[in-house]
Amino acid sequence: MASFECTGWVEQDGTRLSKAEVEKIVRGDPEQVRSFGGEFAFSFDDCSARDHFGIIPGPGPKGALVCNGKVRFAIAPDPAPSSLEEAIVTAIKLRSDEGITALSGGVDSSLVAALAGRDCVSVGLPGSHDLARARQAAELLGLSCTEVEITPEDIESALPSVIAAIPRKDPVNTSIAVTLYFVAQWAGEHGYQRILAGQGADELFGGYSRYLASPTLEEDLARDVAGLELQAARDQAVAALHGTYLSMPYLDIRVMRAAAAIPAQEKVCNGQRKIPLRAVAERYIPQELAGYRKKAMQYGSGVWGVLKKLARKNGYKTSVQDYIDHIGQVKHGH
């Protein structure tokens, strides 16, 4: 009997299962796998399975149990409907038995940090916006937060590995991935495998400033939610370089369903963004954090500014994309 390998975690109807319980089910009554929730990839004998949304990378398609190269059935958990608040609280609780929280000081990560109660880590250049905001948020929440200060030299050395790992190699994805690279590096070096993160909240709840002026808000949000799978692939590829993975409570099926049931105009209205999420957050974190409008990760950490300077320093004065392409080619020996 081949060994059972499992990355991530599994739940069934809101109850966490141990690795031994998962193995017993998949070997004895594999039909139960249909209802598995969580963030997982596992394999046994000639079979493999991945969670419904494919949050955890692995062999085979997302949301399916595959045996001998053929899909046996789809994995489609169907938890009872819940309010957005219940969904978020449950999603974070299910993930908070281990790991570290990536904290940047915005409402997304601050709510995760408060409900998870785990130690936190923040990343940025010395004096950067995100380090200062995360420090303030951790103090307000009474949580421990390690500040990881990175240098332009650190960023330059990480770029070849980051660019080789991520699926979409453009300036925005690269600068976000570089920031996450250092979060994952710190986590891996300190024995953490799971990194709780606020990914997905901007797309689900209307967090980007461009939504304020959008005449097609519903369509824009739907398109951006559809793009979350590629973002998750980017983030997990970088995390995997350090033997870690990102756990994303806002991409829990309960949260995604609750968010999808809220009309777009209730998410972005009268100059306000992420209205439903902030309303939930106000019940768990100080108003100062719940209402804060923070900079995007690549700007708040200072990584974007360094990337532009590195491009200029290496002779690419007008195109960060050309600099990224050059690094990608050098990495592959061209």
> Strands, DSSP E only, in the chain?
5-12, 15-17, 37-44, 47-50, 64-67, 70-74, 100-102, 120-124, 145-149, 194-196, 245-247
Encoded tokens for 90: 């449950």
Identity of the residue numbered 146 = T
Task: Tell me the pairing of strands 37-44 and 145-149.
Answer: unpaired
Residue-wise pLDDT tens digits, 83-134: 999 999 999 999 999 999 999 999 999 999 999 999 999 999 999 999 999 9
d(CA 326, CA 334): 9
Q: Which domains does the chain have, with CATH numbers?
A: 5-74 (no CATH), 84-300 (3.40.50.620)
Residue-wise pLDDT tens digits, 181-202: 999 999 999 999 999 999 999 9
Instruction: Return the higher-pLDDT residue of 20 and 332.
Output: 20
Residue-wise pLDDT tens digits, 133-158: 999 999 999 999 999 999 999 999 99
Does residue 334 carry a pLDDT above 60?
Answer: no
Does residue 1 carry a pLDDT above 60?
Answer: no
d(CA 10, CA 33): 10
Backbone torsion region of residue 2, taken as left when φ is above 0, otherwise alpha when ψ lies between -120 and 50, otherwise beta: beta
Does residue 331 carry a pLDDT above 90?
Answer: no
The predicted model scores a pTM of 0.94
